[in-house]
Amino acid sequence: MTNNKRCILEALSLTDDYANLEWGTPPRNAATVATILSLDVSNVARTLRNMERQGLVQAEDRMVDVWCEVPKPDHYPRQMRCYWRTDTMGQDKAAADTWQAGSKERGRKAEEKMLAMMLQG
């Protein structure tokens, strides 16, 4: 197991609040993993494909919002290959589901906080 593979596995399993806000919940695509680790995306993608053949990760195709400049700057849904860490897949899925289930409540709290800040200023 190379250090690169260990780092990729760790990036795939990050499910704390900061990671979920910054990069979204697992599963994650190669571009997201490359961003987390500050690595080249083509090398990460190649390593993830190798890791899938070795059984270290499981892949699925998902719609992911991706930033694009054309036709106008915005996020657009695109089908991408996303990866789960095989040995923690069940826990990561449960953590992702819990995070997604609480999104409306987090949004409501954030809205209340922003409104309170505007009324104070």
In this prediction, what percent of the chain has a pLDDT beyond 70? 99
Average pLDDT of the residues in 112-117: 88
Whether 98 shows a pLDDT value over 80: the answer reads yes
Q: How many domains does the chain have?
A: 1
Range of the domain at 35: 3-120
Share the mean pLDDT of the chain: 91
**Higher-scoring residue by pLDDT: 82, 18:** 82
pLDDT at 10 over 90: yes
The answer on pLDDT for 121 being more than 80 is: no
CATH of the domain at 15: 1.10.10
Angle at 57 between CA 51 and CA 59, to 5 degrees: 105
pLDDT > 90? residue 65: no
Can you tell me the mean pLDDT for 26-41?
Answer: 95
- Distance from C-alpha of 74 to C-alpha of 78, rounded to nearest angstrom: 12
DSSP H helical ranges for the chain:
3-13, 17-23, 30-37, 41-53, 89-101, 103-120
Average pLDDT of span 73-97: 93
Predicted local confidence at residue 45, as pLDDT: 97
Burial class (CB in 10 A: 0-12, 13-18, 19+), 97: exposed
In the predicted model, is pLDDT for residue 102 greater than 90? no
* Residue 43 pLDDT exceeds 80: yes
The CA distance from 20 to 34, in Å, is 16
- Whether pLDDT at 51 is above 90: yes
